[in-house]
Amino acid sequence: MASTRFRTAVAPPSRGTVALVGAAPARTLWRTAARRLRRNPPAMISIVFLAAIHLVAAVGVGVLPHDPFATNPLESLRAGSLQHPLGTDEVGRDVLARLVLGSRVSLAVGFVAMAISVLVGVAVGAAAGYLGRWIDVVLMRFTDAMMALPTLFVVLAALAVFGGGPITATVVIGLTAWMPVARVVRGEYLRWRVSEFVDAARAVGGSDLRIMLRHILPQVVPSIIVAATLNIAFAILTESAISYLGLGIRPPLPSWGNMLQNAQIYIWSAPTLALYPGLLILMTVLAYNFLGDGLRDALDPRLKL
């Protein structure tokens, strides 16, 4: 509570007076952000698209008539028809059903990997920014070193060690994406560490851990949301790449990436097979990037007026 009250002290008088009387200033931030976001057409279209694709991924598998694993050699590589709207793949499985299940797999990997990267990034960034001194130096040099390494080489080396599969792939992707989060969070902790509300919290006997989590963390949430949104985009893209290489999600379980694995072989006879999964990846990643960018503009406290 102390944290939020002090924050409004720097807000313009008109809104500041209202806030001081008792309205939660955090709501004002979110309301301003929502208003700004509504004036950003790419971000709004992205939200609608993302809502749709997540809904389909969540409930679509049960609704569709076809089993995504059922093969039928007699019906292989068919073009779109009434029975199979997007056609069938090389072993006669319904492409639409596999795309829907693949959406669930790819989005789940994206979310979990994002959660891992945010947890690690916030922990590292908060420790470096708040504790400072040699801890900061060590943690940030490590972050820089990780950033300098090409992601896919690291991912490949890690997969060579731990083997492929959905769980290792997800964890490895998460562990290659935390660095930007750590940098942003560190910057925020450096900034808030010297603020008055932190001094106040310390004066009444708040421990370092309590100050980091209860007082500073809420201030950092907007930045974390932006970084998390962009990280989902990164994670989905990376998952698709390693699954395409045959090292991530393995068939028969479909993901957008591994559905493209065989598409290259049938590029002559069934080019549409290569079209749909890639288009879904592009649109979903694009939407998350637009949304992340829109959120960054909307949540930027410097543009508060």
- What's the CA gap between 36 and 298, in Å, rounded? 5
CB of 39 to another protein, least distance (A): 14
Q: Return the number of the residue (107 or 237) whose C-beta is nearest another protein.
A: 237
Q: How far is the CB of 49 from another protein (least distance, A)?
A: 13
Nearest CB to another protein, comparing residues 148 and 194 = 148
Closer to another protein by CB, 192 or 288: give it. Answer: 288
Shortest distance, position 282 Cβ to another protein, whole Å = 5
Q: Cβ of residue 250: shortest distance to another protein, in angstroms?
A: 12
Of 22 and 150, nearer to another protein (C-beta) is: 150
Give CA–CA dist 126/209, Å, rounded: 10
Nearer CB in complex with another protein: 116/247: 247
Q: Which is nearer to another protein, 134 or 268 (CB)?
A: 268
C-beta separation of 126 from 282 below 8 A: no
Residues lying near another protein in the complex (CB under 8 A) are found at 147-154, 156-157, 159-163, 233, 237, 240-241, 244-247, 257, 260, 263-264, 267-268, 271, 274, 277-278, 281-282, 285-286, 289-290, 293
28 CB neighbour count, 10 Å cutoff: 18
Q: How far is the CB of 141 from another protein (least distance, A)?
A: 13
The span from the CA of 152 to the CA of 162, in Å, is: 15
Nearest to 292 by CA among 42, 91, 71, 52: 42
Tell me the C-alpha distance between 169 and 66, whole Å. Answer: 28
What is the smallest separation between the CB atom of 152 and another protein, expressed in angstroms?
4
Contacts 24+ apart (CB under 8 A), 236-239: 236/106, 236/107, 236/109, 236/110, 236/281, 236/284, 236/285, 236/288, 237/281, 237/285, 238/113, 238/151, 238/152, 238/155, 238/173, 238/176, 238/177, 239/106, 239/109, 239/110, 239/113, 239/169, 239/170, 239/173
